[in-house]
Structure 1
């Protein structure tokens, strides 16, 4: 990192091995930082007996881990989730005071409150912190479920202060960086860093692709699932022949299951492993990337990186002015469709008839794939944090 060794704390609730993308990336970052002669503490939440897993995999040597007990899973109640968040917040503060790092890397996992506590710790103990905004909260949460306006304003002011006091900020897109500067008034550097993609090392990319679409990821409120299903049904009713396969959980999983029961050309795989999701993406000629326009100001769909490595053309379903649409066009990895049934049905038939220009640029895709590799993410993060 620097000529003088530092004590770095890495705070991210999600971690290896349960989270194979950002968790793996942060573990590699911790290992590289230790190998450079620095002291590293990782504060995370433990879902899988991480010390045992690290020993079995011979990973994390020299890194000190402070795992907090995980009290919840995807089926837990809102009340238990709230307790879990408060417990993790208290754990972070206790470990920081105990370890006294001179530098802290903190992300939006979890958002607002934990980064705010890191800011308070750093002000009190004259440390510095780097704030990685994978999403911008409370705005991103407010798009999904409206937050009480009194609480929303408090959280907004807390996070804006955290942004202003950081050594620097990291986010995913230029659109998100503009939003950060606009709402916080921060003058610190804002770095753009693409998240890495899940490893495709064990994925078979040699098979002929199936004519159809894959969708792998959260089937939630932001993914326009009702619109997508209405368009697919209208396409099938008019004789469409493409295959559609969906994988992942979310509030619309039951609807996806019932839709799968109704239509032979539609398959719902349910929850799958990241490796299985990557193989599904690689098997199909197109990948669906629907997202609500408003949320693109505050977040970026993580599945996009996996879609790039799969070799599938991407059909983004969003407004032309969004950061997602601009990303698709800039890198030549697909096309953008307006979010309405008629436009989607038309583009499905155009794809079926090979009557659409996929805007595919193999050279541009290869350049993007290089940027999305784990080692590139780790090296860039290392350069920013040092």
Structure 2
């Protein structure tokens, strides 16, 4: 029997390091037994730079591990400049609309809520053109996210954004969100009336690729040596260094630990692994305040992520105030998979904070409660090297293995799509 055809609109796809691109890659490859899958995405460009080999044609066709990938050429951009980013996003949007005609008729269309608003509209477009069932995967709600972090204070713009995204929700056959608080947001949007068909499926980590390693594992040691972390107590932030994480205020808390040591005598180092729109601000703050124990490290290749995550003793998992029900920090799943405890700066009732508190795999505080953030850091410094800290991390990993593996979540996606 012929497999059903599934079209995925993905702003980014591997080898781009965007978390949604990595996630959608694993989802697509995990559903190949049930579906013939095509992905429409941009040429690799998550950091704003495009390789010369992707600058000569409008479209590029590839096959990656059995998934057909149709890439769209877009302009290079700067993450720090709004107009530059918008130009890039608009180019993807119209390029993807045109690219829809380059693929054969589809049975299902799947789009993700990135880029904001455009991702949902592309899914509606694909549904109309193909007369297909449409699955709208909401990783982040907008304009709620834009409003929460003050990215735009223009009420007219945010109201128009809401009209368009509610339109995408209404036209979907299924909304999949990634947290119980995000399901609540769908109901709030529609005030409990004619709520679109909505389910929650957690994001995941591939526990076969990301798992605990010994501290003296050669690749872990190499990573630590490369960035001056050897022998240090490392508190790490790994992921997008962008607007939605309150990092500009959290680095002021970190400043109080410039000369800190753990109870077992180690110097404390704060590592930021990744890139994003506020990276330069953080670097400038570090330099102006002579914070020698802060180090900035580039994004790691997917195959090396296991080593960087294992190099930390503790990981941050943070969101800015107002992000509850709007976005879910999937970085937690990788942190838990390597068995590391968490300093959570997350609103009560948000998906990841519920998991951390239910499993006692870290210490949490509300965004903006910087005094409690400081207390939580001090607790880890006082208990460094003890069984208390190790057991915290182990509980998080156990929960991942029991409930949040890649196979568990992908099986849920497959079942929900085929039931439409």
TM-score band, normalised by the shorter chain?
Answer: 0.7 to 0.9
Please list, as runs of the form range in 1=range in 2, the aligned pairs for 1:99-118 lying within 5 A after superposition. 99-118=104-123
Alignment partner of 2:283 out of 257, 270, 274: 257
Measured in 2, the distance between the counterparts of 1:27 and 1:268 equals 27
**Residue pair 2:246, 2:320 contacting (<8 A) in 1 also:** yes
* Distance across 2 between alignment mates of 1:231 and 1:384: 44
Instruction: Classify 1:190/1:35 alpha carbon distance in 2 versus 1 (closer, same or farther; 3 Å).
Output: same
Q: Displacement of 1:275 after TM fit?
A: 4.7
Tell me by how many angstroms 1:170 deviates.
0.6
> Would you say 1:95 and 2:99 are equivalent positions?
yes
Q: How does 1:220-231 map to 2 (within 5 A)?
A: 220-231=242-253
How do residues 278-289 of structure 1 correspond to structure 2 at under 5 angstroms?
A: 278-289=306-317
Q: Are residue 177 (structure 1) and residue 183 (structure 2) matched?
A: yes
Residues of 1 paired with 2:77 and 2:402: CA distance?
Answer: 34
CA distance in 1: counterparts of 2:372 and 2:139, whole angstroms: 31
Aligned residues: 379
Task: Tell me which moved more, 351-360 or 67-76.
Answer: 351-360
The normalised TM-score by structure 2 is: 0.77
Deviations 1:89-134 (A, max 9, x none): 2233233345332321111122313422432553565322000001
Aligned position for 2:202: 194
Question: Do the aligned partners of residues 218 and 93 (structure 1) sit closer, same or farther apart at CA in structure 2, a change above 3 Å counting?
Answer: closer
Spell out, residue by residue over 1:277-328, the C-alpha distance to the aligned partner (whole angstroms, 9 max, x if none). Answer: 5423312221112221301221011221111112110011234344442221
CA drift at 1:373: 3.4
Q: Which residue of 2 aligns with 1:168?
A: 174
1:235 is aligned to: 257
The question of whether the paired residues in 1 share the 8 Å contact of 2:61 and 2:70 is answered with no
In terms of mean alpha carbon deviation, does 366-375 or 177-186 score higher? 366-375
CA distance in 2, matches of 1:340, 1:31: 41
Q: Which residue of 2 aligns with 1:335?
A: 363
- Identify which range, 166-175 or 83-92, moves more after superposition: 83-92
Map Cα deviations across residues 214-253 of structure 1 (whole Å, 9 max, x no partner): 1112233322223322222223467775332222223442
C-alpha separation between the residues in 2 aligned to 1:72 and 1:134? 25
Return 238-247 or 110-119, whichever deviates more.
238-247
Instruction: Give the corresponding residue for 1:154.
Output: 160
Distance 1:201 1:273 in 2: 13
Q: 1:82 to 1:235 in 2, by over 3 A?
A: closer
Q: TM-score, normalised by structure 1?
A: 0.84
The answer for the alignment partner of 2:226 in structure 1 is: none
- Of residues 9, 12, 16, the one that matches 1:11 is 9
For residues 256 and 291 of structure 1, what CA distance do their matches in structure 2 show? Answer: 16
Unaligned runs of 5+ in 1: none
* Range that drifts further, 177-186 or 265-274: 265-274
> Where do residues 351-366 of structure 1 align in structure 2 (5 Å cutoff)?
351-354=380-383, 360=392, 362=394, 365-366=397-398
Q: Which residue of 2 aligns with 1:137?
A: 142
Aligned to 2:37: 40
Q: How far apart, CA to CA, are the structure 1 residues paired with 2:178 and 2:96?
A: 25
CA–CA distance in structure 1, aligned partners of residues 188 and 76 of structure 2: 35
